[in-house]
Amino acid sequence: MNVVLVGFLASLLAGLATFVGALPILLPINLTQRIQGIMLGFGGGVMLAATAFSLIVPGTEAAENIGYSRAIAALIMVVGILLGGLFLQVAHHALPHEHFLKGRENCRGKSIKQIWLFIAAITIHNFPEGLAVGVNFGSGNIEQGLPIAVGIGLQNMPEGLVVALSLISERYSTSYALGVSLLTGLVEPLGGLVGAGVASIAQFILPWAMAFAAGAMLFVISDDIIPESHRKGLETEGTIGVMLGFVVMMFLDIALGG
């Protein structure tokens, strides 16, 4: 079985769930800000649980299986998580991009088209998700990779809808909103390809790759998802979403994981 191909396809399907989630904008629906806050929080909760149950825990076990002591395995997780967060921090400050809440960041001029700023923000946000899916499948354990692929796909659907609705509220066209949602999905298989490829090279890389993906996910959760879900005084709704997303992903990992 080609684990790299499987990891790529799994992350592609999870990523395309973002586009599927955006399709309801074609219908005459009107989601309140409170519901959008819950939906964004849900995505953050899924990512938080995936970081713990699908990356840190199996990454620690992978390090111990190689022969490291529990203390060294824990140290690998610490260093890898910090490296993943540092990588996202560097990317965050290096790439000009645009948030719905915070606006433009690192833009030294106004010549950059807004579509490219959104795509840059999407890349920073979604690449770690694809990386996490790919790393799990790259280990060769389908049962270990399935929960995180399903969980990321589930959290991508409400996220895709919120992004599309946000674009429409800023007077962008429906086709533009759907196009950005599709591009969002196409970022994740790139991360999946990298994650599966790196994890499949050698067994000793697997715990480092999992820790790195966990750190990147934690950065996105804290820097992007939670602030967006708390916008306009919707902290309670965002927190409800985080709790719901966390328990859903926890259930998937326990029920579907090996």
Higher pLDDT, 135 or 138: 135
> What pLDDT was estimated at residue 28?
80
Q: State which of 36-45, 65-74, 173-182, 218-227 shows the largest mean pLDDT.
A: 65-74
Q: With 70 as the cut, is the pLDDT of residue 49 above it?
A: yes
> What pLDDT was estimated at residue 116?
55
Percent of the chain residues past pLDDT 90, beyond the cut: 23
* Arithmetic mean of pLDDT, 117-134: 74
> What pLDDT was estimated at residue 71?
96
The least confident of 1-10, 62-71, 102-111 is 102-111
191 pLDDT band, cuts 50/70/90, is confident
Q: With 90 as the cut, is the pLDDT of residue 73 above it?
A: yes
223 pLDDT band, cuts 50/70/90, is confident
Q: With 50 as the cut, is the pLDDT of residue 111 above it?
A: no
Smallest CA-to-CA distance from 72 within 84, 62, 82 is with 62
Higher pLDDT, 69 or 221: 69
* Arithmetic mean of pLDDT, 242-247: 94
Q: With 80 as the cut, is the pLDDT of residue 77 above it?
A: yes
* Arithmetic mean of pLDDT, 131-156: 82
C-alpha to C-alpha distance for 78 and 85, rounded to whole angstroms = 11
> What pLDDT was estimated at residue 242?
92
* Arithmetic mean of pLDDT, 77-96: 86
Average pLDDT of every residue of the chain: 82
Q: With 80 as the cut, is the pLDDT of residue 35 above it?
A: yes
How many CA atoms are closer than 13 Å to the CA of 191, on its beta-carbon side?
30
The least confident of 42-46, 108-112, 128-132, 251-255 is 108-112
Tens of pLDDT, residues 149-175: 888 888 888 878 877 887 787 778 899
- Three-state secondary structure readout of the chain: CCHHHHHHHHHHHHHHHHHHHHHHHHCCCCCCHHHHHHHHHHHHHHHHHHHHHHHHHHHHHHHHHHCCCHHHHHHHHHHHHHHHHHHHHHHHHHCCEEECCCEEECCCCCCCCHHHHHHHHHHHHHHHHHHHHHHHHHCCCHHHHHHHHHHHHHHHHHHHHHHHHHHHHCCCCHHHHHHHHHHHHHHHHHHHHHHHHHHHHCCCHHHHHHHHHHHHHHHHHHHHHHHHHCHHHCHHHHHHHHHHHHHHHHHHHHHHCC
